[in-house]
Amino acid sequence: ADSYLGQVENNLQRMRQLAVESNNGGLSAADQTNLDKEYQQLATANKNIETNANYNGNKLFDGSVASTTFQYGQNAATDVTTVTNVNMSTFGTLTGTSVTSAANATAAQAAIDTDLTSLKAA
């Protein structure tokens, strides 16, 4: 679960960098379109993690399981951790966001900041 969340956070951080870069008034529309291609790929990757990440047949990030307990060592009494389910569908939606213009990039940045805050609270 941690590696999935780490990947989502890395993707969001990169998406934020792309939004900041796209907000640069010196970029052409073609430059912004190229930045948006990577932005959309990262958004799709995060959606795929939300939809498909599972452990032992249980979806980890769709809100269907309250928590999952993992034994990670030989000692069942002490080597156990519980991961509270993260419902990524409650994050500020990035669906429909883009960085194809300065205005779009500003809106995307705000949505990403909301998602990063939600992710850190999870």
Per residue of the chain (122 residues), give pLDDT as tens.
678 888 999 999 999 999 999 998 899 999 999 999 999 999 999 888 888 888 778 777 777 766 666 666 666 666 555 556 566 666 656 778 999 999 999 999 999 998 898 887 76
Q: Which domain holds residue 112?
A: 2-121
- For 53-70, the pLDDT digits (tens) are 887 787 777 777 666 666
CATH code of 64's domain: 1.20.1330.10
* 8 Å CB contact between 99 and 22: yes
Separation CA 64–CA 110 (nearest Å): 27
Amino acid 95 reads T
Separation CA 122–CA 42 (nearest Å): 20
Total of domains in the chain: 1
b/e map 42-59, b = 16+ CB within 10 Å: bbeebeebbeebbeeeee
Q: What is the pTM of this model?
A: 0.80
